[in-house]
Structure 1
């Protein structure tokens, strides 16, 4: 099969909350760091909007003069617990395999650091063909700025008209719109369904099977 059968040659994916179920890990890491360094309790609903934003920015904003210690505590928890708390959302590794059958390229665009992003993909069992096209280190600006998506297109040698972006946060959909890339919002991650539906998108998916239908027809 070929990409002539589908409207896109490249599918770009967000990582956390889209491909990998890492939400509990991220929330717990933040809660641990806040309690450890700041002596404060942090509820889940406060953390969820931070997911998808660059960690360095959020650490600086929340930690103030204790930002360095907050980052160290967060990283320590993340490294110690990452592999036990990261899984793929059911059905998505198989979807990646099917996209490959159609010769559709796939890549990840994330605000996470490259090493941990690649590690998450492998721990979750995604195929080696799925790689990180743009990570935190690759652009000065991050989602909702379009820079990461534009960098990913350049990395993959693709045009916006040939691609679609899949993400679970409003920042994903805003970045895609700014980059001129059609987007599909998924509601199984950190983003709120109502907030996602207020953004412009090609489609929305409430389950991986819906995403499969939207990508493969």
Structure 2
């Protein structure tokens, strides 16, 4: 009897790659251009994973919508400039053992890989191309086409694209937004301890792993 198709969906920033340096620098630059004090590091990292317009509105609820829109545009400009200056691999390095784990999962015929991220399609494409990962992911869900996390739209689309049943899918992420999104979509969530939200914030996670190399065993436990 053949095994069913499985789908492992990854968040990007804080899960696959550590892009906090450029995120912090770009957000501080954008707030500076708006003539506003930038939020502190922990607050900025706390909104990573949300779509950018939602994130900026949450960071500066006292500002009007037109200023939010300008901060979003300035953030994108600064972020792209930083990435162009240093290159993707230096700007957003993969976390330890991420690549070998992706390769091992990708080598299993019944296992499909996907992405669900608050990044734009353009930003995700640049990142995957820079790390040579584009061919690994059969479904790529981005902020351009969906409501912000934790709305389950991204995961529902990934399931529909791949034909995988919810009980055979897992969302891997570092934030409460990822875990709440997974729960809303009816799929299991695996939290990672190395990202931008503290592990104790990942209350909706089925499991939390401390190292990328522990992911295959966590998947095996969830899927039996």
Same fold (TM over 0.5): yes
Q: Tell me: CA distance 1:146–1:46, structure 2 relative to 1, closer, same or farther (3 Å).
A: same
- State the match for 1:56 in structure 2: 53
Q: Does 1:102 align with 2:99?
A: no
Contact map agreement 2:117 2:142 (CA 8 A) in 1: yes
Of residues 41-50 and 163-172 in structure 1, the stretch that sits farther from structure 2 once superposed is 41-50
Q: Tell me: CA distance 1:32–1:87, structure 2 relative to 1, closer, same or farther (3 Å).
A: same
Contact map agreement 1:106 1:130 (CA 8 A) in 2: yes
Please give the per-residue CA displacement for 1:23-68, whole angstroms capped at 9, x wherever unaligned. 2221221111112222414310110111011101223452523223
Shift of 1:185: 0.4
Equivalent position SS for 2:155: helix
Moved over 6 A (4+): none
> How many correspondences in the alignment?
211
Structure 2 unmatched ranges of 5 or more: none
Find the aligned partners of 2:98 and 2:220 in 1 and give their Cα distance. Answer: 13
Q: Does 1:70 align with 2:53?
A: no
Q: Does 1:124 align with 2:128?
A: no
Find the aligned partners of 1:23 and 1:89 in 2 and give their Cα distance. Answer: 12
Find the aligned partners of 1:9 and 1:37 in 2 and give their Cα distance. Answer: 46
TM-score scaled to structure 1, two decimals? 0.88
TM-score scaled to structure 2, two decimals? 0.85
Structure 1 unmatched ranges of 5 or more: none
